[in-house]
Amino acid sequence: MPDRQQAPRRRSEISALLEIARDLTASLAAEDRYARLLGTIRRVIPCDAACLLRLEEEGLVAVAAHGLVPAALDRRYNRHEHPRLDVILRSTEPVRFPPDSPLADPFDGLLEEDPHALEHIHACLGCALTEGGEVVGALTADALEPHAFDHLDMRFLATLGALAGAAMRTTSLIEALERRVEHRGRVARELHRHAIETSGDMIGASPALRRLLDDVAMVARSDLNVLITGETGVGKERVAHQVHDLSPRHDEALIHVNCAALPEAIAESELFGHVAGAFTGALHERAGKFEVADGGTLFLDEIGELPLSLQPKLLRALESGEIQRVGSDLPHRVDVRVIAATNRDLEREVGRGRFRADLYHRLAVFPLRVPPLRERREDVPLLAAHFADTARRRLGLGPVRLSEALRSRLATADWPGNVREIENLIGRGVLRASRGREAGEPVSVDVAHIDLGTAPERVQGTDELSAAPEPPGTLPRPLRERVREYERRLVADALERHGGSWAAAGRELGLHRSNLYHLARRLGLRE
């Protein structure tokens, strides 16, 4: 007959196994499943500390713990750096270490009550968690009383390990599905928030544009990183969309990040995410843009504005495919193709120490230069007609015609703002020409309806103060007035180069955005 003192323990063990088995089919979140699994195990293995770990490649990640400090859950335990864990994973049977084992305990220094108690003689056991003959994780337990585990039945522990392994595999599958659903939700929200009119082919038939489109089609089929360069307004974002749309990743998301609009204080969190409590205001964990773009493409617009402090972290993500959320030691692997764009000369920025050379070469695996509009003047009539039709549809107008005089004027313009400038100019012209017209009535746009040539004069250099000569017969303007005019031109030119981004213009001019706002108001450039 079984020992009467053993009967209650046997009933407790059977009850624990049944509870784990029932939880296999229960509707529980992954975090709750791990907590319940560890709680059930602790009832039959009395201990001061216990940890449930999931095997990921050559490392173990803690998914639930008892008696350990919170930092224990943020670490990755490499099996080759922790001999006890390696022994547990290699063993086909549960392992009970001698109380005076010379092997270091992986949780020494992490005990909640007495951090370094595990340096001394203590009881320690471990069990590899298996499912279908494959090791999926490990269970460890520590007790400060050296003989606390002497009574445990190794056969029961083996059964517990197999059942717990099945529970861990089930939980991992459910967790993967939850992450996939969450990822899809983040992607949908991101695409909705960044919804812009970027569909369709680039407009034009000039040789310069055809060469660009040939290069786009060629590189799109690969998975190479792409660096798109060109002046403000040439259509770098449209080129990025073309590369993504023609790539094998076209069914996945293209996530857009404007690096010039990222405040340096939160730029790392925006790109790589953060865990709860990582900094003031981080109440919940949050995925960064790299995780949102996993499986798809990440478009880093205005990459030349990325703070130097963040460039090494971006380089690591490009080199290894691994990122770390702010406040976490655990790396996340992501599969992301990066397309970057800039209107800066990055090679010159590298020479000036403003951009890392290794990051530049990692980004510019395949450079694409988008030609300015003055190099593809043949495309101006096609672009003008396209934007006129776009404005017609937006305003609900009838047919829109551009006069011959206007066409001639457009063909000879300098277009410092490139495609964006012609789009805005034609849109304003159609709106003015439609004043007083009934819905559906034809609209004719003439030179009088456009404001070409009124943009702020472009400053060629900033090393010396220059001003237009005073008209003959007039007194020279006071120095203060001429300085204000020069400042006005500098600010307006910086804003034009950066597409109206006050943050980017401020960085170029060495001013904080709020100070630039105040200066612009004083100069009459902002209300």
Q: What is the spatial distance between Cα 454 and Cα 457, in angstroms, rounded to a whole number?
A: 8
Percent of all residues in the chain with a pLDDT value above 70, rounded to a whole number: 81
From the CB of residue 156, how many other CB atoms can be counted at a distance below 10 Å?
18
- The DSSP symbol for 257 reads E
Per-residue confidence at 465, pLDDT binned at 50, 70, 90? very low
What local confidence, expressed as pLDDT, does residue 297 receive? 95
Is pLDDT above 50 for 194?
A: no
The pTM for the full model equals 0.56
Q: What is the largest CA-CA distance in the chain?
A: 124
What local confidence, expressed as pLDDT, does residue 289 receive? 92
Span 274-294, pLDDT tens digits: 888 888 777 788 888 999 999
Q: What is the spatial distance between Cα 50 and Cα 375, in angstroms, rounded to a whole number?
A: 69
Q: Tokens standing for 44?
A: 């039959």
- The average confidence (pLDDT) of the chain is 82
The domains found in the chain, sorted by start residue, are 7-176 (3.30.450.40), 201-369 (3.40.50.300), 374-449 (1.10.8.60), 459-527 (1.10.10)
For tokens 């859950």, name the residue: 73
Q: Is there a contact between 202 and 304 (Cβ–Cβ < 8 Å)?
A: no
Span 423-445, pLDDT tens digits: 999 999 999 998 887 777 789 99
Q: Is there a contact between 66 and 112 (Cβ–Cβ < 8 Å)?
A: no
What string of DSSP letters covers 211-255?
Answer: HHHHHHHHHHTS---EEEE--TTS-HHHHHHHHHHTSTTTTS-EE
Q: Is there a contact between 295 and 335 (Cβ–Cβ < 8 Å)?
A: yes
What string of DSSP letters covers 320-340?
Answer: HSEEE-BT---EEE---EEEE
Q: What is the spatial distance between Cα 88 and Cα 79, in angstroms, rounded to a whole number?
A: 9
What local confidence, expressed as pLDDT, does residue 492 receive? 80
What local confidence, expressed as pLDDT, does residue 459 receive? 37
Span 348-387, pLDDT tens digits: 999 999 999 999 999 999 999 999 999 999 999 999 999 9
394 vs 473, more confident: 394
Q: Is there a contact between 163 and 20 (Cβ–Cβ < 8 Å)?
A: yes
Sign (positive/negative) of CA torsion 333, 334, 338, 342?
negative
For tokens 């770990």, name the residue: 53
| SS3 call for 98 | coil
Taking phi over 0 as left and psi of -120 to 50 as alpha, with beta for the rest, 247 belongs to: beta
